[in-house]
Structure 1
Amino acid sequence: MEGFTVAAINGRRFGPSRSRNAVLDSRAIPSPGGGVPNRWLRETEGFGSNPGALRMFWYAPSGLRPASPLVVVLHGWAQTAEGYDRGSGWSALAEREGFAVLFPQQQPQNNPHSCFTWFRRGDIGRGDGEALSIRQMTEDMIANQGIDRNRVFVTGLSAGGAMTNVMLAAYPEVFAAGAIIAGLPYGGAFNGLQAVQCMRYPSGRTPQEWGGRVRAASNHEGPWPRMSVWHGSADTTVVPANADAIIAQWLDVHGIDGSIVSMPEPGTAGHRIWSDASGHALVEEHRVIGMAHGTPIRTAGRAPGRGIAGPFFLDVGISSTLNIARAWDLLAVEGGDHGI
């Protein structure tokens, strides 16, 4: 969300929603997906009423097995579905590991910087706007690709990370887990000015107040999706205090004492895990020391899922894509160079 102004992120939506009867658009987008050739994202139209006027791109390996997982991937500011796939390597990993990926895409007619409007009341509520469009896309994938409803996940960067939180709050029964990269807490802003303020100085609400905003977004009573939070310690675009707010929000939702935490590497604050009484990890944090605003990738090696370095795709020696996939039990291939 670099370079945002209040006017830019408020934006306006023009024209009707894209709800035609076409199933697959012939304008398929080629996506190298981490260097693997012959990769294609397909576009589907007519997936629902699409009140948010978003576009739907997706990829599924040929011969996808019944009851396979689905990962919904939400791009960041000034990005596209193809661009985020190229940088993050999600479809290349999906090809190797046998799961489907869905890439909702914002349109510049909705927002001049093509970011999801995670701060607008008409787009972040259950049954509203962009949130409903993404939900309809997800349902289209479940129905037409034979997806396991218990293995649907969502992740995103920046504005896409904030929209990931929207989807987990508005439709918690749909997603088993989510991963927010450089994102913001749900209910942190409800207009453009508040969005800019939240990016720089998130409100000092209590964990109970943050958690209450998620609980109020639906009538869901649990169980709640697992949460993974990724943020760079040197992020000056969406400051790390937003990661603290997201963690506090979801610890409260899960009813976990925030003082009880395990660190896989003793003495390291970079990776923390909060678990329930049975030892199941429900909330985790990856604070990437020294990283600015972007998705952490690791380009060394040849395995799919490493991504390609570029603006907002930062080669910091750790692959968020591979780590997230591992946490969600998506790495079915035994051995090999996962290179997490």
Structure 2
Amino acid sequence: MLNQDIVREATRLTRAGQLVEATALLQRMLRGDSARAPTARSAAPAPPARLEPPTIDVEPNVVEDRESRPTSQPRPVQGRKRTSPLDEMRKFSGFGLQGPIGRTPPSTSDIVPEGTRFIAGTYGNAAGSRTYKLFIPSGCQGQQLPLIVMLHGCTQSPDDFAAGTRMNFLAEEQNCFVVYPEQPRGANQSKCWNWFRTGDQRRGGGEPSMIAGITRQIMRDHAIDPKRVYVAGLSAGGAAAAIMGATYSDLYAAVGVHSGLACGAASDLPSAFAAMQGGGSKAIADGKTSVPTIVFHGNRDTTVHPKNGDQIIEQSAGAMRPTTKVLRGRVPNGHAYTRTILSDAGGRAISEHWNIDGAGHAWSGGSPAGSYTDPQGPDATREMLRFFLEHSLGR
């Protein structure tokens, strides 16, 4: 059976509620096995199932420091736990991460600098409602300030994401507001933004309308510069950030995507699985306005293939023919990286792609006070904020 036939059959099985059979078929395809679709005669009858948003619960990548191991010492081989098709299906949370069980919540001192405020709020519209946490810098004196919208990864919370990225501390330095919308378990059992559903990839509906609504509510209630509003995210939140840039280019001046996927990379469960493995179809960018975008991705990310970072950059450039500048560096006692800057004819940077050598699926340069961070990488938070403040709407 051809791969396109396999994906078509897996889609049919998913819609019929036969999730185990669909996953087993996709697994065989990706392994290169000779896959044969279940037939009506051979497949066991399955009762109608209520399809939950797909979940991907995977262990965070643990990247070994290659320089700390003598070259003569072989890399340890770890046993791999046998998994059933049902176990694989449970990995689909929109992707992301298995939450640290029993992890101690971050302390207030890890989340916000002293003398600042971190307040809770709620927004609702016809698509639903979402809570959020808003960081207000101490330098807020009524003047219009920038706003950064931060979309957490699977299993995370605003507090956890704020602690891991330390965005509030950098925002205090630069005098910016930061808002953290929260995805509830009722919308996705692993609290992932549903980036792979077509209904959540469109302007004016689904989750994009709620994220945009939160953004506009903050802009209405506080002194926000409407030309300096930005959106960023990690993993499923990174994919959601890419969607927001593609669908609300009149609202966001720039986008930051860490370990995510491009808008349109998937439209259902089978295509989401394929896209994350690097075998999905090219992301659809037709009819979408390009927005300046900065991307961070580890080249040893086994949750979301690094190829997806390339697709985000390609989508953000649109029909432009930018000039390219490549810089290389290394964090002291940490990861090496390649920074590719794309600029327009006027010399203005329209995108940056940070490819981090040896990094996995985690926020680069983040704090261990939060989950899914890699302190050995370049500081993604500082570089994203720097990139954001270089761009404004109308320029």
TM range (shorter): 0.7 to 0.9
Q: Which amino acid aligns with 2:248?
A: Y
Q: Is the 8 Å Cα contact of residues 74 and 104 (structure 1) preserved in structure 2?
A: yes
Gaps spanning 5+ residues in structure 2: where? 1-55, 59-86, 95-105, 330-335, 391-395
Structure of higher RCO (CA pairs closer than 8 Å, 6+ residues apart): 1
Please give the residue correspondences for 1:98-247 in structure 2 after superposition, counting only pairs within 5 Å. 98-205=175-282, 210-212=284-286, 215-216=287-288, 224-247=290-313
Shift of 1:6: 4.3
Q: Which residue of 1 aligns with 2:324?
A: 261
Say if 2:119 is the partner of 1:42: yes
Cα 1:2–1:254 shift into 2, 3 Å: farther
Q: Which residue of 1 aligns with 2:166?
A: 89
Distance in 2 of aligned mates of 1:50 and 1:95: 34
Cα 1:92–1:50 shift into 2, 3 Å: farther
Q: Is the 8 Å Cα contact of residues 30 and 41 (structure 1) preserved in structure 2?
A: no
Shift of 1:30: 6.8
Shift of 1:203: 2.4
Say if 2:349 is the partner of 1:281: yes
Cα 1:129–1:7 shift into 2, 3 Å: farther
Say if 2:132 is the partner of 1:56: yes
TM-score, with length taken from structure 1: 0.78
Matched residue of 1:109: which SS? Answer: coil
Q: Is the 8 Å Cα contact of residues 53 and 107 (structure 1) preserved in structure 2?
A: no
Cα 1:280–1:143 shift into 2, 3 Å: same
Q: Which amino acid aligns with 2:324?
A: V
* 4+ long deviations beyond 6 Å: none
Moved more, 106-115 or 194-203: 194-203
Give the count of matched residue pairs. Answer: 290
Shift of 1:245: 1.3
Distance in 1 of aligned mates of 2:361 and 2:132: 26
Distance in 2 of aligned mates of 1:7 and 1:191: 15
Structure 1 counterpart of 2:109, from 18, 32, 44? 32
Matched residue of 2:340: which SS? Answer: strand
Distance in 2 of aligned mates of 1:176 and 1:161: 16
Distance in 2 of aligned mates of 1:71 and 1:292: 25
Gaps spanning 5+ residues in structure 1: where? 12-28, 217-221, 299-306, 331-340
Shift of 1:283: 1.2
Distance in 1 of aligned mates of 2:368 and 2:319: 35
Query: Considering only aligned residues, what root-mean-square deviation do their CA atoms show, in Å?
Result: 2.6
Cα 1:250–1:63 shift into 2, 3 Å: closer
Matched residue of 2:296: which SS? Answer: strand
Matched residue of 1:270: which SS? Answer: strand
Identity of aligned residues (%): 29
Cα 1:327–1:254 shift into 2, 3 Å: farther
Q: Which residue of 1 aligns with 2:386?
A: 326
Shift of 1:69: 0.1
Q: Which amino acid aligns with 1:70?
A: L
Distance in 1 of aligned mates of 2:201 and 2:130: 14
Deviation sequence 1:202-228 (CA, Å, 0-9, x none): 4243xxx6331xx25xxxxx5x42111
Q: Is the 8 Å Cα contact of residues 112 and 168 (structure 2) preserved in structure 1?
A: no
Distance in 1 of aligned mates of 2:107 and 2:358: 33
